[in-house]
A and B are shown apart, each in its own frame.
Chain A
Amino acid sequence: MNLNARIPSGPIEQRWDKARFDLKLVNPANKRKYNVIVVGSGLAGGSAAATLGELGYNVKCFCFQDSPRRAHSIAAQGGINAAKNYQNDGDSVYRLFYDTVKGGDFRARESNVYRLAQVSVSIIDQCVAQGVPFAREYGGLLSNRSFGGAQVSRTFYARGQTGQQLLLGAYQALERQIDAGKVKMLPRTEMLDLIVIDGKARGIVARNLVTGRIDVHMADAVVLATGGYGNVFYLSTNAKGSNTTAIWRAYKRGAAFGNPCYTQIHPTCIPQSGDYQSKLTLMSESLRNDGRIWVPLKKGDTRSADQIPESERDYYLERMYPSFGNLSPRDIASRAAKRVCDEGRGVGPTGLGVYLDFSDAIRRLGQKTIAERYGNLFEIYERITGEDPYTVPMRIYPAVHYTMGGLWVDYHLMSTIPGLFVLGEANFSDHGANRLGASALMQGLSDGYFVIPYTLGNYLASEKFAKVDESHPEAVAALAQTQSLTKQLLAIKGKRTVSSFHRELGKLMWDFCGMARNAQGLEQAAGKIAGLREEFWKNVNVAGEAGDLNQSLESAGRVADFLELGELMCHDARVREESCGGHFREEYQTPDGEAQRNDEQFAHVAAWEYQGPNQKPVRHQEELQFEYVKPVQRSYK
């Protein structure tokens, strides 16, 4: 497998410019002759489809939701980073680049990250011009806040709904192209396979989720922007529909999967309340700006929070990381919460929770100020838990939030299958082993608005495309295979529901491949997952019919893929014998319990190549060069 990342040469700050000059252009009159498929309509997919439509390509955009406006990007609360330095507080493109590489625990590709930081500036301009109502100061200029442990204020936000507003901007741009006839939107349509002809991605197989009809769609290039796979854990902050199916089936067609084990666990989520729980809700990280995190000093202390005197509280983040305190990066804050709960000092009915306490802030700033800053978040919390955070401290616990891993892509965002491009959370590229707060939105829009329009054009201009249509043997075969898979799922009629399998898989993943992992647990989990998968194909009960709107069938296909992906994640976590970012191996930690990287052996991307059903995949490596940011141990003490 060829893992040529196609990184341009020269000084890092000139690489993107150089690449843009070297990239071939498609003649404006010829653009309409190219057909491009975009799967996914979130920040990455929506912005890509809109921009490619504006440029003149014929775009077909797919999403499984009823409207492109519902993609899960919509749920991002906090904000979007950009190196604008409007605050004059020392930010720069270089600093954003540096922070991102360091925050990713030196497991990201420098050139990609630098480009991301460069492009971040244009994203804000573009979104403002679209009418995104970013927060503003009284003088009428854009407001910024510091976010997720950053030392500068570079985060732009629209109340607690930044993702929503950015997505609506991209969605509106997309609708404009739909109206202009440049983009054909296929909502309620789910990609189920990739069609590869002569080694190039030439189309997809997709199921119309209303009629159940499975069709082949051909194109000259395929762009996947289908988001992350956090739902492999069943409980996560992802939307219920978020899934791995598109990228997983592309993986099975030959696209390498990069760093599948890198998972981000977000420290501030509402704890689980029961077995029926269907998802976890994130409470924006911005709460940590004013809330103090603590647990009782004593094990098994069942007193209510107001009965525990100051001297018997452990503000453990402030104690362990005095300089960053409650604002320590996500991976660190999450692990610390797990550690104190494992010690038996967790709070709440399950003992899996820590307090996020605003009483100091309310005393210092007044309830009014706190309500202004976090009023809507407090409301959400009260709606879900029935407790009033103004009087009782919030309870929070870490939850799966984001997956840094994804399909391997080169500098052009092209996967190991030529013509298959992967954007946003679906690729592995920019965040290394841990993503910084407010960087996901930045990456999605950077990929979609500003990178893919150039690199896709280069691909189309450089290649010759044989005429292929739906009758091509590869397309016919892929269609038949998908149809038979659907039939097979419906025919099992076993004794267990799809979600019972999903829940069991999620628990295995959380227990053995979650916040802390070890070799023995990972091996055990991989075996159990294989067993569970076997049972799934014998004993699952999928209700309904194939030719119908059938939510059980949709979910069965997705869980079938999670059952394969989960095993790969365990393998990847097992082989990576170091701790880095979100990947914490208990065997590799410093004496004080921090992640211990092994740069000599693991400063690389693991890219897994599929070998066939129940065959062990092959692990390839892309070595990472750190020419600008020298790897050091991350310290937030």
Chain B
Amino acid sequence: MNLTLHVWRQKDVATPGKMVRYDAPNVNEHMSFLEMLDVVNEGLILRGEEPIAFEHDCREGICGSCGFMINGIAHGGFKNTTVCQLHMRHFADGDEVYIEPWRATAFPVMKDLIVDRSAFDRIIASGGYVSVSTGSAPDGNALPIRKQDSDLAMDAAACIGCGACVASCPNAAAALFTGAKISHLAHLPQGQPERKERSLRMVRQMNAELFGNCTNIGECEATCPKGIPIEVIASMNGDFLAASWQERPPVEIAGAG
């Protein structure tokens, strides 16, 4: 099949970009979307042009590197599918395909389809962990965990940090990403001691990164390649509310005695 691509080209973070039209001839239906772009890029290189830069690594839908908008939908809009797992059999001869990077202030475009998602790392760094230094752990079976809780933790922990939730959200909110980590740890006994502070810190970091505000629209959940439900956002909201309510005024610490 032959396709026409409209691709966002941008030299670097400081230079404005624009859509550029490319032909993608002889596309095989068994190719993945990224393999189709590989072939287009080979052609560009041989013509002395710069290939289209896009982020990718594992190409099996787990590393979270890849992702861009295809025809206005993050990852192309097939259920639980990242761009690297999207195959060309879903397209038809003659299709026009619009390819754009994630757009958000918190995700500046670095080149073509590549954006900087380090804001996600900083959200995790602000509290998305259990403070347990190596060597201080009790036996793995010391704390039984209800299977249902463990499963719910796993559902939330499946997040690959690709950024599709932010990209799809009309508000450019990172609530699904942040909520997923808060919810993952909130379902486990290991996550309890820091649960309250975690929600306060992660929400505040999410705000500091200039993500928008969640208005419960649900586009994030629809395009999340791991099918993470917006229930995790409610979980974050509840924790934040409880933690804010219970936050105690600072106490002066008595001198060492």
Contacts and interface: CB of A to CB of B under 8 A. Distances in A.
Q: In the complex, A touching B, CB below 8 Å?
A: yes
A161 B64 CA distance: 13
Given A136-B145, A187-B118, A240 B59 contact: yes
Interface stretch (A9-17, A170-178, A338-346, A482-490): A170-178
A130 B38 contact: no
Interface in B1-19: 11-12
Contacts of A126: 132, 134-135, 137
Nearest to B187: A133
Interface in B46-71: 46, 48-51, 53, 55-65
A1 interface: no
Interface string A144-165: 0000000000000011010011
- Chain B interface, DSSP helix/strand/loop, else mixed: loop
Interface stretch (A327-335, A422-430, A434-442, A542-550): A542-550
Given A133-B150, A497-B45, A173 B60 contact: no
Interface string B109-131: 01100101110110011101111
Given A134-B150, A279-B59, A543-B49, A129 B138 contact: yes
A417 interface: no
Contact of A136 (B28, B39, B150): B150
Contact of B12 (A137, A241, A548): A548
A218 interface: no
A450 to B, nearest CB: 7
A316 interface: no
B45 A541 contact: yes
Contact of B57 (A65, A128, A175, A383): A65
A543 B45 CA distance: 6
A175 B140 contact: no
A66 B146 contact: no
Interface residues of A, number: 82
A100 interface: no
B63 A70 contact: yes
B184 interface: yes
A133 B30 contact: no
A90 interface: no
A129 B142 CA distance: 10
A386 B59 CA distance: 17
Contacts of A139: 144
Contacts, number: 221
A75 B61 CA distance: 9
Interface stretch (A269-277, A364-372, A562-570, A619-627): A269-277
A173 B133 CA distance: 8
A72 interface: yes
Interface stretch (B81-89, B94-102, B164-172, B229-237): B81-89
Nearest to A135: B150
A72 B151 CA distance: 24
Contact of A124 (B32, B140, B190): B140
A136 B31 CA distance: 38
B222 interface: no
Nearest to B188: A131
Given A65-B65, A130-B129, A541-B46, A125 B137 contact: yes
Contact of A130 (B59, B124, B161, B190): B190
Contacts of B132: 126, 129-130, 173
A521 interface: no
Given A84-B140, A239-B59, A499-B38, A380 B85 contact: yes
Given A75-B60, A140-B145, A128 B154 contact: no
B77 interface: no
A67 interface: yes
B48 to A, nearest CB: 8
Nearest to B48: A543
Contacts of B135: 122, 126, 450
A172 B129 contact: yes
A418 interface: no
Contacts of A500: 42
B153 interface: yes
Interface in B27-43: 28, 30-32, 34-35, 38-39, 42
B147 interface: yes
Interface string A110-139: 000000000000101111111101111111
A125 B139 CA distance: 5
B121 A67 contact: yes
- For A50, A380, A500, the residue with the greatest tally of chain B CB atoms inside 10 Å of its CB is A380
Contacts of B111: 548-549
B121 to A, nearest CB: 5
B63 A239 contact: yes
Nearest to B130: A131
A74 B147 contact: no
Contacts of A497: 42, 45-46
B49 to A, nearest CB: 7
Nearest to A132: B157
Contacts of A210: 110
Contacts of B139: 125
A380 B140 contact: no
A536 interface: no
B44 interface: yes
A175 B131 contact: no
A539 to B, nearest CB: 12
A175 B121 contact: yes
B158 interface: yes
B207 interface: no
A315 to B, nearest CB: 28
Contact of A131 (B30, B134, B190): B190
A632 interface: no
Nearest to B156: A133
A453 interface: yes
B82 to A, nearest CB: 10
B215 interface: no
B191 interface: yes
A32 to B, nearest CB: 16
A548 B140 CA distance: 47
B113 to A, nearest CB: 11
A161 B31 CA distance: 25
Contacts of B80: 379
A142 B142 CA distance: 10
Contacts of B44: 543
Contacts of A223: none
Interface in A78-130: 84, 86, 122, 124-130
B85 A133 contact: no
B140 A70 contact: no
A250 B55 CA distance: 27
B237 to A, nearest CB: 21
A136 B130 CA distance: 20
A66 B60 contact: no
Given A140-B147, A175-B121, A274 B31 contact: yes
- For A50, A278, A385, the residue with the greatest tally of chain B CB atoms inside 10 Å of its CB is A278
21 contacts: A67-B117, A70-B63, A74-B63, A75-B62, A126-B134, A139-B144, A140-B145, A141-B144, A178-B121, A178-B125, A239-B57, A239-B58, A239-B63, A241-B57, A274-B30, A379-B80, A380-B61, A386-B30, A386-B87, A543-B44, A552-B51
Closest 6 CB pairs of A and B: A140-B144, A129-B137, A172-B129, A133-B154, A175-B125, A179-B125
Interface of B: 11-12, 28, 30-32, 34-35, 38-39, 42, 44-46, 48-51, 53, 55-65, 80-81, 85, 87, 89, 110-111, 114, 116-118, 120-121, 124-126, 128-141, 143-147, 150-151, 153-154, 157-158, 160-161, 184-185, 187-188, 190-191
